[in-house]
């Protein structure tokens, strides 16, 4: 039906308004006339030229304004705000790091749901808030570009397979497995995981769990079992010792629980007014290690002398001559000296040895036992479970696999094809295994050879627990929901054992059944508390010590019972001695020692560019492994740094460049493990050469050395990317050190520490020190008003481990620049650890040696140098030379003593960097965030995945601007805001810089120098005096601590970073 | 006087000579090659250079200071010598001033080039902005540089241009005459029109007419012209001293051993005049040959300039030795080492090159024959400029590469882009110079004419000589 209703456009149509009728037929109305200045409308109601211009002007302005705004991409606001996430406020979760036998209780800082920083957990009594470079950097593994995405499920033979289908196939294959089912894992410290494995083994009775550590400590484990019946590492307490002797154990760098040892060690090395004593450290080794560099006495030995040194110490301590001794008289004298000191400090000494030879370790146990150290510095009643790898079983497994006797094999977090000396055999054998499964989420060397890949979560995405030390538990919780389609290893095992609980429930019920002791508040409270703290360290604890003999595993070994809390020693010293006699014979012309670098470690995390670019604390080299050779051998073999040589030993050959290393024992060369990866990812592939095959089987255990190595020079050359190429301090007063004897006498020490200016300056007020004259007014007034931030670095505590460097890099979005750019000397690190060797000119002759030839001599490091580490970052000078020269005021001084950098304002003249006496400013030579050449190494700024690691509070710097340490100003600011909302002043210790927080040795103290109760004021003995100068009053700040000094004090830039003199405890 | 006008206007009015075309083509090619390097430098960032965290300046600032130094001779010759009434300057001052301007432009290009973010270069100027207090840092010698160099450039350009006006008017007039002499009549045949057109120069008449601001050459105008020249000379004179003094402050006010030296201002000014004169010599010797100006740029000129080179070269030499003495006498260990390292460290060869080229080689000019030899002068003028480049390189790089903390000690190795950007500046300089030489009078006709009296004697002698020769010839012809 037709609708005849009439709808009016408005009342005007109904009334036939004249205005309306006039315009009714026009489809578009006229523009509204724009009023002219006087408010008169244009008479015709049309558009005047002026209106047109106005509208056009507006239009153009609007269009150009709209064009100015960068389109916002992919910023998706929360539809419903999650309860626990406030944008811009970090959430911190406690978790646990456990990899390659390194344990660390950590706090993970997340922002908007993504982990951005790892800190140490101070509630843990094991690591006590310390971290290492590797722990700090492990964060980036989460966002590693080489991680497979597993978009369509798991992988089978390189192709995607549905998860359920894979599970069904694997289960069927497991049931039908002909032969042993091997589960190869690294040391599992997680009690619940062990339970999961056991459950799996119950389901498939022919299961064999093989624990495999890439770098094994089987020697110690085996020896402990022999001596005490305990198959575990002891717990060392370096802080109780007054004399350490270490034979090839880099306990500050890579040996066992180095974070923990670093803290304990530093404790014994700290001195102050009240404590003018410190420990003495003897170190026997071939290549220069981090620990060796810190030692008071470092003695060079060859790998073939390692056993003999221990044997000689045994003779010395036991007072007999049963064991063979070293022939070298000098070395023997040093051993005698070390032995005597050990004896003199019974119960307060410690002998550690990095050897993986059980017979050597049996003697070490005997010596420590004889010295009574098992009651104090070594605790075997509470052993450490960081490394339980069994070399014998690994070898047996490889035999089985190679012989085609294995039914199935599963690899969790291990890569033996790459890092076992018999990796080749294993690779061949894997082809014969019917069912091979890898749990790796990156396609590494071993994983590529496996049939199924059922990827595990990254540890930051996982639930887990750990018992790093008997009775000291910790939890790991996911800090982000799994980024890719992965499934936790434990879940996989549970599924395959037909257990339908998830691992999370399993973990909870394990804790409820086994660890919860009925604490008040019920299990839920207990669980939440442990989850919050990250650690659970109950007081009462019952010993259940592991042995390899599974039948007696549950019983407490007799040796420990007998000791009544302590231990009693068994073990056949005589047999050990005869073994040593047969193994440690003079080797060939050259011997090879294999070692781990502080950054790369075993090589499992080699694809993390932060670690690749971490300058090795000793060699300051990045992005490579190289053959360290002594100065005199380099001379006699006519090789120079960078020459590529062919190294052959134990049937393996690699080509690596040479690095001339002061302190390397004559007749030895060192090569780092962890390089030469082929399937790690774009970062690590092809970097360096694989040194694992050089390790050989010595009896039961793997020996990380070769007694005879052939080195042949080739014509090729390579440049090693070092961040520091000059080795000595050239006799300059930039590092201060003294011996303990001097330090003990206050007056003598004060005299020794006086500023050694060669000159005083003539002024109209008489002779003055260079530090007493200044062009500038100073900032003291300001400092008196508000905060005055300062830092103190104790060079006695700093061991040079470089954890601070990675901490800073993570916190401040410092880019990685790659090998080429490091060779060009353009690394971007805001903090560097300067490492100096003593020169060949003795200290007391340096003043006379300052001649043309003398300076040349001074450049050469001594063959047996003393080493010193000096962390160097922006010194936040009060008379900052950088500030005065910037043409655009891009770098200025804050009222709180900070030297600030305004990136936006910087035009990149680099004048500030030139004028910086400490050379700590870093320039963005390229656009590190989108220049193609950095795509692979600095992927943190290139891909959406990588960008998740960036700290949102810190600007990512663009090309052409200068940057440098900011004293973590974002942290200061955050604490100030928190304090402000709570209407209080900032408390001391509330602001911690990233470097300070990462430091395992507490070498860095940061704080407000205006706060009389602050730690830094106490450490430096800061006293303020108001002086009357003529008619004016002047505030002067005095540091009473005699060890405090400023680097380059003489140029009077008045830094806010103060160093504390290094004290050495040498026996004269 | 007409001869002068003829000689000098010849190259402006005539078709380009082959020599000029070749020279110009080479310059433009150099400029283009350099531009490619410069474009990459700006596109990728100055990371393409060999600089590093320790050595923040090397070839960039070396080139900058070098070009600024070269830019000193022009103003010195025109201003100071004008004030001292040194008439011999008249035949070289125009070219020298042009050289100054082009050299300063080249120097300026390095200021832009060396910046991390050159598109923000204007931030170095005290421009008002919406942030109110956000201004330049008047403590910074780089800001002083900005003022010093922009002032110097402005004054030099004005001085040079004012001097050009009478000569531009001459060329204009000569072009106008061609119009008057060849009026295009409607009765002309096509061929006649073609022939006439070829002789007419209407574009020149128009362009030079514009450029000469309607100069008529009246007595009053000349009087004002003289005053303006004197005033501008008075203004420029302190600039000659101040510009390089301020450039030297870039280094002298720093804390870096080897830079932190009070001797720098006089030493830099002397060095600048030294290198500036050497560059003027190099260019004049070329121009002289290319444009056949032997009668205007005489051996006397060259000899006088060589004397200035001996003087300034010796001042520079004394400065080098004084630096060493002061470093030792100060007792400051960093200072002493900086100088020992300069002479005996890894960059000893740069130091040796500097010493040989700057101190030893100019001493050859004590010999009159060498001083008056064109070949020797040409070679030594180039040697001096090489030496002065090395002087800046030595000061900048050897001081930075080993300063306070040995951990940061590094080496500088130039890359192809360092070289390419330097090539760019050469291309720019010579392209501008040859354009100048072609389109503007290279010698100040008006001023040269004022000194004709003093060269009267020589003209007479020349004339006598010519007459004698002609007589001889006629004699021989008669004999024949």
Under the banding of pLDDT at 50, 70 and 90, the label for residue A612 is: very high
Instruction: Kindly report, residue by residue over A958-996, the tens digit of the pLDDT.
Output: 999 999 999 999 999 999 999 999 999 889 989 999 999
Q: Summarize the confidence of residues B278-298 as an average pLDDT.
A: 80
Name the least confident of A39-43, A79-83, A616-620, A1006-1010: A39-43
Instruction: Kindly report, residue by residue over A636-679, the tens digit of the pLDDT.
Output: 999 999 999 999 998 889 999 999 999 999 999 999 999 999 98
Q: Give the model's pLDDT for residue A768.
A: 84
Chain A contact for B408 (CB, 8 A cutoff):
yes
Contacts of B336 in chain A (CB under 8 A): 850
Q: Give the model's pLDDT for residue B480.
A: 47
Instruction: Kindly report, residue by residue over B432-449, the tens digit of the pLDDT.
Output: 988 988 888 877 777 767
Under the banding of pLDDT at 50, 70 and 90, the label for residue A52 is: confident
Residue A1022 has pLDDT above 90, yes or no: no
Name the least confident of A981-985, A1064-1068, B384-388, B442-446: B442-446
Q: Give strand pairing partners of A362.
A: none
C-alpha closest to that of A677 among A755, A777, A604: A604
Pair of tokens at residue A518: 């009925």
Cα–Cα distance between A832 and A825 in angstroms, integer?
A: 13
Q: Give the model's pLDDT for residue B317.
A: 92
DSSP per-residue string spanning A60-84: HHHHHHHHHSPPP-S----SS--TT
Q: Give the model's pLDDT for residue A552.
A: 44
Residue A558 has pLDDT above 50, yes or no: no
Q: Give the model's pLDDT for residue A47.
A: 60
Contacts of B134 in chain A (CB under 8 A): 889, 905
Residue A43 has pLDDT above 60, yes or no: no
Instruction: Kindly report, residue by residue over B53-91, the tens digit of the pLDDT.
Output: 999 999 999 999 999 988 887 777 777 777 776 666 677
Q: Are A624 and A675 in contact (CB under 8 A)?
A: yes
Cα–Cα distance between A731 and B336 in angstroms, integer?
A: 13
Residue A561 has pLDDT above 70, yes or no: no
Instruction: Report angle CA B396, B402, B406 to the nearest 5 degrees.
Output: 160
Q: Taking the CB of residue B411, how many other CB atoms lie within 10 A of it?
A: 15
Pair of tokens at residue A385: 């479970």
How many CA atoms within 13 Å lie on the side-chain side of A502? 7
Quote the distance between the C-alpha of residue A958 and its chain's center: 26
Q: Taking the CB of residue A393, how many other CB atoms lie within 10 A of it?
A: 18
Cα–Cα distance between A606 and A54 in angstroms, integer?
A: 64
Residue A454 has pLDDT above 60, yes or no: yes
Q: Rg of chain A's alpha carbons, rounded to an integer?
A: 33
Residue A837's closest chain B neighbor by CA? Answer: B407
What's the start-to-end Cα distance of chain A, in Å?
119
Q: Summarize the confidence of residues A173-188 as an average pLDDT.
A: 87
Cα–Cα distance between A662 and A854 in angstroms, integer?
A: 19
Q: Give strand pairing partners of A94.
A: A107
Contacts of A850 in chain B (CB under 8 A): 333, 336-337
Pair of tokens at residue A1034: 């002047």
DSSP per-residue string spanning A8-63: -SSHHHHTT-HHHHHHTT-SSPPPPPPP-TTSPPPTTSS--HHHHHHHHHHHHHHH
The average confidence (pLDDT) of chain A is 85
Q: Give the model's pLDDT for residue B230.
A: 84
Percent of chain B with pLDDT over 70: 90
Max intra-chain CA distance, chain B: 93
C-alpha closest to that of B143 among A50, A886, A665: A886
Per-window interface: B 420-459 vs A, CB < 8 A? none
Q: How many residues are listed for chain A in this entry?
A: 1068
Under an 8 A CB cutoff, do B139 and A924 touch?
no
The average confidence (pLDDT) of chain B is 85
C-alpha closest to that of B421 among B136, B2, B135, B109: B109
The most confident of the ranges A41-50, B26-35, B207-216 is B26-35
Name the least confident of A859-873, A899-913, B69-83: B69-83
Under an 8 A CB cutoff, do A910 and B116 touch?
yes
Residues 6+ apart with CB under 8 A from A972: A789, A896, A898, A991
Q: What strands, in cross-sheet order, belong to the sheet with A349-353?
A: A297-300, A280-285, A243-247, A349-353
Q: Give the model's pLDDT for residue A773.
A: 82
Q: Summarize the confidence of residues A310-320 as an average pLDDT.
A: 84
Q: Summarize the confidence of residues B195-209 as an average pLDDT.
A: 82
Residue A565 has pLDDT above 50, yes or no: no
Q: Which of A918, A960, A961, A1046 to probe the B interface (max B CBs under 10 A)?
A: A960
User: A234 phi and psi, to 5 degrees?
Assistant: -75, 165
For residue A417, give the DSSP letter.
Answer: H
Helices H / strands E in chain B, number of each: 20, 0
Q: Are A153 and A161 in contact (CB under 8 A)?
A: yes
Pair of tokens at residue A777: 């007014």
Q: Give the model's pLDDT for residue B420.
A: 93
Q: Give the model's pLDDT for residue B451.
A: 61
Name the least confident of A220-234, A420-434, B433-447: B433-447
Instruction: Kindly report, residue by residue over B100-125, the tens digit of the pLDDT.
Output: 899 999 999 999 999 999 999 888 88
Contacts of B255 in chain A (CB under 8 A): 881, 915, 917, 1051, 1053
Under an 8 A CB cutoff, do A909 and B142 touch?
yes
Q: Give the model's pLDDT for residue A1004.
A: 93
Pair of tokens at residue B202: 């209407």
Q: Kindly report the nearest CA distance between residue A828 and chain B, in angstroms.
A: 9
DSSP per-residue string spanning A701-733: EEESEES--EEEEEEEE---EES----B-TT-T
Task: Say what the pTM is.
Answer: 0.86
Under the banding of pLDDT at 50, 70 and 90, the label for residue A553 is: very low
Looking up tokens 């009439």 gives A6
Chain A contact for B53 (CB, 8 A cutoff):
yes
Query: Where do the domains of chain B lie?
Result: 2-443, 446-480
The torsion of the CA quartet A334, A337, A341, A344, rounded to 10 degrees, works out to 160
Percent of chain A with pLDDT over 70: 91
Q: Summarize the confidence of residues A805-812 as an average pLDDT.
A: 93
Instruction: Kindly report, residue by residue over A463-510, the tens digit of the pLDDT.
Output: 999 988 888 889 999 888 888 888 888 888 898 888 888 899 899 899
Q: Give the model's pLDDT for residue A559.
A: 45
Residue B188 has pLDDT above 50, yes or no: yes
The torsion of the CA quartet A628, A629, A634, A637, rounded to 10 degrees, works out to -110
Q: Are B410 and A823 in contact (CB under 8 A)?
A: no
Q: Give the model's pLDDT for residue A551.
A: 46
Q: Taking the CB of residue B467, how many other CB atoms lie within 10 A of it?
A: 10
Q: Kindly report the nearest CA distance between residue B452 and chain A, in angstroms.
A: 50
What kind of architecture, by CATH, is found in domain B2-443?
Up-down Bundle (1.20)
Going along chain A from its start, the domains and CATH numbers come out as: 5-17+729-1064 (3.30.70.20), 145-211+389-469+472-535 (3.40.50.740), 234-382 (3.40.228.10), 587-726 (2.40.40.20)
Per-window interface: B 327-386 vs A, CB < 8 A? 330-334, 336-337, 340-341, 344
Residue B138's closest chain A neighbor by CA? Answer: A887
Residue A809 has pLDDT above 90, yes or no: yes
Under the banding of pLDDT at 50, 70 and 90, the label for residue A150 is: confident
Report in angstroms the alpha-carbon separations of A1061 from A272, A869, A1038, A1046: 11, 11, 17, 10
Cα–Cα distance between B101 and B154 in angstroms, integer?
A: 9
Can you say whether the dihedral through the CA atoms of B2, B4, B7, B9 is positive or negative? Answer: negative
Quote the distance between the C-alpha of residue A657 and its chain's center: 25
Under an 8 A CB cutoff, do A917 and B116 touch?
no
Q: Give the model's pLDDT for residue A555.
A: 45
Residue A29 has pLDDT above 90, yes or no: no
Q: Summarize the confidence of residues A118-126 as an average pLDDT.
A: 89
Pairing of strands A867-872, A832-837: antiparallel
Give the three-state DSSP class for A155: strand
Residues 6+ apart with CB under 8 A from A129: A119, A120, A121, A122, A997
Pair of tokens at residue A594: 């294999």
C-alpha closest to that of A241 among A275, A276, A268, A272: A268
Cα–Cα distance between B425 and B432 in angstroms, integer?
A: 11
The torsion of the CA quartet B437, B441, B444, B449, rounded to 10 degrees, works out to 130
Per-window interface: B 107-166 vs A, CB < 8 A? 114-118, 120-121, 123-124, 134-137, 139-143, 146
Q: Give the model's pLDDT for residue A543.
A: 55
Instruction: Kindly report, residue by residue over A773-802, the tens digit of the pLDDT.
Output: 887 777 766 666 788 899 999 999 999 999
Pair of tokens at residue A1029: 């100068």
Residue A869's closest chain B neighbor by CA? Answer: B407
C-alpha closest to that of A952 among A282, A253, A115: A115
- The ipTM assigned to this model is 0.88
Under the banding of pLDDT at 50, 70 and 90, the label for residue A562 is: very low
C-alpha closest to that of A917 among B466, B195, B160, B254: B254
């Amino acid at each position: 039906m037709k609708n005849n209703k009439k709808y009016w456009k408005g009342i005007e149509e109904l009334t036939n308004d004249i205005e309306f009728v006039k315009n009714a037929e026009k489809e578009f109305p006229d523009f509204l006339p724009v009023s002219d200045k006087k408010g008169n409308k244009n008479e015709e109601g049309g558009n005047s030229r002026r209106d047109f211009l106005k509208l056009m002007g507006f239009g153009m302005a609007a269009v150009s304004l709209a064009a100015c705004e960068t389109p916002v991409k992919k910023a998706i606001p929360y539809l419903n705000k999650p309860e626990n996430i406030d944008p811009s406020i970090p959430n911190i979760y406690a978790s646990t790091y456990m990899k390659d036998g390194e344990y660390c209780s950590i706090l993970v800082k997340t922002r908007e749901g993504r982990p951005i920083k790892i800190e140490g957990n101070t509630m843990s009594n094991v690591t006590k808030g310390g971290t290492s470079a590797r722990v700090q950097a492990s964060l980036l593994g989460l966002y590693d570009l080489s991680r497979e995405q597993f978009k369509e499920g798991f992988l089978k033979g390189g192709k995607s397979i549905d998860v359920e289908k894979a599970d069904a196939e694997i289960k069927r294959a497991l049931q039908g497995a002909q032969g042993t089912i091997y589960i190869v894992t690294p040391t599992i410290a997680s009690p619940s995981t062990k339970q999961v494995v056991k459950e799996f083994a119950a389901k498939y009775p022919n299961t064999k769990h093989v624990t495999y550590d890439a770098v094994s400590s089987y020697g110690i484990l085996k020896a402990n079992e022999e001596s005490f019946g305990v198959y575990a590492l002891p717990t060392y307490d370096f802080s109780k010792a007054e004399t350490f002797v270490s034979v090839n154990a880099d306990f500050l760098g890579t040996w066992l629980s180095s974070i923990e040892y670093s803290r304990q060690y530093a404790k014994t090395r700290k001195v102050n007014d009240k404590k003018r004593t410190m420990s003495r450290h003897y170190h026997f080794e071939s290549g220069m290690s981090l620990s060796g560099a810190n030692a008071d006495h470092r003695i060079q030995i060859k790998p073939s002398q390692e056993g003999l040194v221990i044997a000689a110490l045994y003779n010395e301590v036991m007072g007999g001559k049963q064991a063979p001794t070293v022939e070298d008289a000098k070395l023997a004298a040093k051993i005698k000296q070390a032995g005597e000191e050990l004896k003199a400090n019974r119960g307060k000494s410690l002998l550690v040895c990095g050897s993986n030879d059980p017979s050597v370790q049996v003697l070490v146990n005997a010596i420590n036992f004889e010295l009574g150290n098992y009651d104090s510095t070594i605790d075997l009643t509470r052993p450490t479970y960081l490394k339980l790898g069994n070399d014998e079983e690994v070898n047996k497994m490889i035999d089985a696999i190679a012989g085609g006797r294995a039914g199935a094999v599963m690899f969790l977090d291990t890569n033996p094809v790459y890092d076992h000396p018999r990796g080749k055999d294993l690779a061949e054998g894997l082809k014969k295994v019917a069912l091979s499964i890898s749990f790796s989420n990156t396609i590494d060397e071993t994983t590529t050879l496996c049939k199924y890949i059922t990827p595990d979560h990254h540890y930051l995405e996982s639930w887990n627990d750990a018992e790093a030390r008997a009775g000291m538990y910790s939890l790991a919780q996911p800090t982000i929901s799994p980024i890719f389609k992965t499934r936790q290893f434990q879940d996989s095992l549970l599924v395959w054992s037909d257990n339908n609980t998830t691992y999370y429930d399993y973990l909870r019920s394990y804790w409820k059944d086994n660890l919860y002791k009925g604490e008040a508040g019920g299990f839920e409270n207990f669980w939440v508390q442990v989850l919050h703290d990250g650690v659970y360290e109950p007081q009462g604890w019952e010993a259940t010590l592991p042995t390899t003999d599974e039948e007696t595993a549950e019983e407490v070994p007799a040796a420990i019972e007998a000791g009544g809390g302590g231990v009693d020693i068994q073990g056949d010293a005589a047999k050990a001695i005869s073994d040593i006699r047969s193994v440690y014979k003079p080797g060939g012309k050259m011997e090879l020692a294999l070692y781990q670098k502080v950054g790369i470690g075993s090589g499992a995390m080699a694809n993390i560019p932060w670690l690749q670019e971490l300058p090795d604390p000793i060699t300051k080299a990045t992005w490579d492994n190289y053959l360290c050779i002594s100065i005199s051998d380099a001379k006699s073999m006519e090789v120079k740094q960078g020459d590529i040589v062919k190294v052959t030993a134990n049937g393996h050959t690699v080509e690596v460049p040479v690095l001339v290393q002061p302190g390397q024992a004559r007749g030895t060369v060192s090569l780092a493990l962890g390089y030469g990866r082929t399937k790690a990812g774009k970062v690590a592939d092809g970097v360096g050469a694989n040194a694992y095959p050089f390790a050989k089987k010595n009896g039961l255990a793997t020996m990380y050395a070769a007694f005879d190595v052939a080195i042949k020079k080739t014509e090729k050359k390579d440049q090693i990317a070092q961040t520091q190429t000059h080795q000595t301090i050239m006799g300059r007063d930039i590092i201060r050190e003294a011996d303990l004897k001097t330090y003990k006498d206050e007056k003598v020490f004060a005299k020794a520490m006086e500023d050694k200016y060669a000159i005083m300056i003539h002024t109209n007020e008489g002779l003055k020190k260079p530090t007493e004259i200044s062009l500038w007014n100073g900032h003291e007034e300001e400092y008196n008003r508000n905060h005055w931030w300062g830092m103190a670095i104790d060079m006695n505590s700093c061991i040079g481990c470089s954890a601070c460097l990675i901490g800073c890099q993570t916190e401040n979005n410092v880019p990685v620049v790659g090998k080429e750019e490091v060779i060009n000397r353009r690394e971007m690190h805001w903090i560097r650890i300067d490492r100096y060797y003593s020169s060949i000119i003795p200290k007391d002759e340096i003043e006379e040696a300052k001649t043309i030839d003398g300076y040349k001599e001074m450049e050469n490091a001594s063959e047996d140098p003393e080493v010193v580490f000096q962390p160097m970052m922006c010194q936040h000078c009060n008379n900052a030379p950088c500030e005065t020269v910037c043409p655009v005021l891009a770098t200025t001084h804050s009222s709180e003593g900070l030297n600030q950098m305004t990136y936006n304002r910087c035009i990149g003249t680099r004048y500030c960097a030139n004028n910086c006496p400490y050379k700590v400013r870093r320039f963005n030579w390229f656009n590190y965030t989108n220049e193609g050449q950095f795509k692979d190494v600095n992927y943190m700024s290139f891909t959406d995945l990588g960008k998740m690691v960036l700290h949102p509070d810190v600007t990512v710097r663009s090309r052409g601007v200068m940057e440098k340490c900011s004293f973590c100003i974002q942290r200061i600011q955050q604490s100030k805001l928190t304090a402000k909302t709570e209407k209080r002043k900032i408390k001391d210790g509330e602001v911690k810089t990233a470097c300070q927080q990462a430091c395992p040795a507490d070498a860095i103290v940061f704080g407000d120098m205006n706060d009389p109760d602050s730690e830094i004021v106490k450490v430096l003995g800061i006293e303020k005096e108001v002086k009357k100068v003529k008619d004016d009053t002047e505030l002067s700040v005095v540091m009473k601590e005699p060890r405090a000094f400023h680097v380059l004090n003489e140029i009077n830039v008045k830094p806010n970073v103060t160093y504390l003199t290094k004290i050495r405890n040498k026996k004269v | 006087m007409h001869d002068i006008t003829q000689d000098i206007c010849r190259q402006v009015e005539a078709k380009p000579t082959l020599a000029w075309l070749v020279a110009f083509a080479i310059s433009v090619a150099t400029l283009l090659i350099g531009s490619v390097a410069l474009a990459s430098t700006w596109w990728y960032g100055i990371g393409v250079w060999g600089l590093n965290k320790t050595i923040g300046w090397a070839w960039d600032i070396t080139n900058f200071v070098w070009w600024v130094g070269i830019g000193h001779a022009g103003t010195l010759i025109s201003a100071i010598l004008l004030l001292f009434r040194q008439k011999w300057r008249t035949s070289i001052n125009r070219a020298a001033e042009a050289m100054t301007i082009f050299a300063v432009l080249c120097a300026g290009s390095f200021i832009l080039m060396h910046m991390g973010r050159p598109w923000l270069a204007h931030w170095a100027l005290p421009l008002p902005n919406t942030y109110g207090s956000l201004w330049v840092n008047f403590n910074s010698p780089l800001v002083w540089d900005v003022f010093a160099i922009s002032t110097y450039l402005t004054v030099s350009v004005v001085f040079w241009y004012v001097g050009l006006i009478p000569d531009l008017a001459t060329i204009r007039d000569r072009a106008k005459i061609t119009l008057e002499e060849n009026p295009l009549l409607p009765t002309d045949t096509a061929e006649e029109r073609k022939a006439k057109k070829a002789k007419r120069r209407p574009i020149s008449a128009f362009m030079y007419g514009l450029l000469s601001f309607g100069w008529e050459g009246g007595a009053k105008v000349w009087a004002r012209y003289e005053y303006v020249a004197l005033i501008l000379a008075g203004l420029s004179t302190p600039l000659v001293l101040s510009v390089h003094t301020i450039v030297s402050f870039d280094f002298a006010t720093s804390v870096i051993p080897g830079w932190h030296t009070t001797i720098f201002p006089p030493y830099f000014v002397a060095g600048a005049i030294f290198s500036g004169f050497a560059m003027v010599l190099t260019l004049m010797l070329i121009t002289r040959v290319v444009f056949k100006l032997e009668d205007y740029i005489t051996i006397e000129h060259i000899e006088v300039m060589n004397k200035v080179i001996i003087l300034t070269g010796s001042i520079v030499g004394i400065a080098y030795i004084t630096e060493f003495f002061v470093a030792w006498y100060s007792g400051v260990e960093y200072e002493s080492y900086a100088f020992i390292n300069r002479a005996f460290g890894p960059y000893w060869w740069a130091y040796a090159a500097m010493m040989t080229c700057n101190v030893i080689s100019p001493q050859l000019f004590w010999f009159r024959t060498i001083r008056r030899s064109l070949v020797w002068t040409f070679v030594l003028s180039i040697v001096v400029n090489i030496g002065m480049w090395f002087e800046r390189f030595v000061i900048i790089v050897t001081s930075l590469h080993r300063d306070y903390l040995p951990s940061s000690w590094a080496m500088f190795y130039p890359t192809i882009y360092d070289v390419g950007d330097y090539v760019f500046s050469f291309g720019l300089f010579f392209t501008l110079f040859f354009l100048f030489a072609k389109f503007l009078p290279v010698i100040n006709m008006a001023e040269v004419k004022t000194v004709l009296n003093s060269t009267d004697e020589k003209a007479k002698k020349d004339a006598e000589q010519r007459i004698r020769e002609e007589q001889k010839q006629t004699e021989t012809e008669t004999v024949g």
